[in-house]
């Protein structure tokens, strides 16, 4: 379950080029069933219309027994009716490179690259 995947990529629809630097404007929540080689259950690219690197945003998922609802800054962007019963854990990571992971011309360079997380909240409904 990927709550947020954003690509700087520069080319529409994933981003825009500002002063020669690629900035992400879109992201995609994605759900896979099974392990890393699992079946794609659903994904939706969501163009926020704003530079995602310009400030903090809230990415959220409400995980219920038979569906997941994804949110961007409080707005619902995707609902999937699928049962997810496998154990999961929370992971925050940053992957530099092209969409396939291999560094290319879209790979950020320099010391100013960062992935800042203001806070993380997780809870279980009663």
**If pLDDT is split at 50, 70 and 90, which confidence band does 11 have?**
very low
The stretch 38-61 carries a mean pLDDT of 81
Position with higher pLDDT, 51 vs 69: 69
Torsion-angle region of residue 77: left (phi > 0), alpha (psi -120 to 50) or beta?
A: alpha
Average pLDDT over residues 23-40: 69
pTM (2 decimals)?
Answer: 0.71
The DSSP 8-state label assigned to residue 88 in this structure reads -
Q: Which residues pair with 95 in a beta bridge?
A: none
* Domain residue spans of the chain: 1-104
């Amino acid at each position: 379950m990927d709550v947020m995947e954003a690509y700087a990529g520069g080319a529409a629809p994933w981003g825009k080029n500002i002063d020669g630097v690629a900035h992400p404007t879109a992201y995609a929540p994605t759900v896979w069933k099974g392990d890393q080689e699992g079946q794609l259950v659903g994904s939706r690219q969501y163009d926020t219309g704003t530079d995602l690197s310009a400030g903090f945003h809230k990415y959220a998922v409400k995980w219920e027994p038979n569906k997941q609802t994804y949110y961007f800054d409080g707005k619902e962007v995707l609902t999937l009716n699928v049962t997810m019963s496998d154990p999961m854990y929370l992971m925050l990571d940053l992957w530099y490179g092209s969409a396939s992971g291999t560094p290319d011309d879209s790979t950020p360079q320099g010391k100013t690259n960062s992935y800042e997380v203001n806070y993380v909240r997780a809870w279980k409904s009663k």
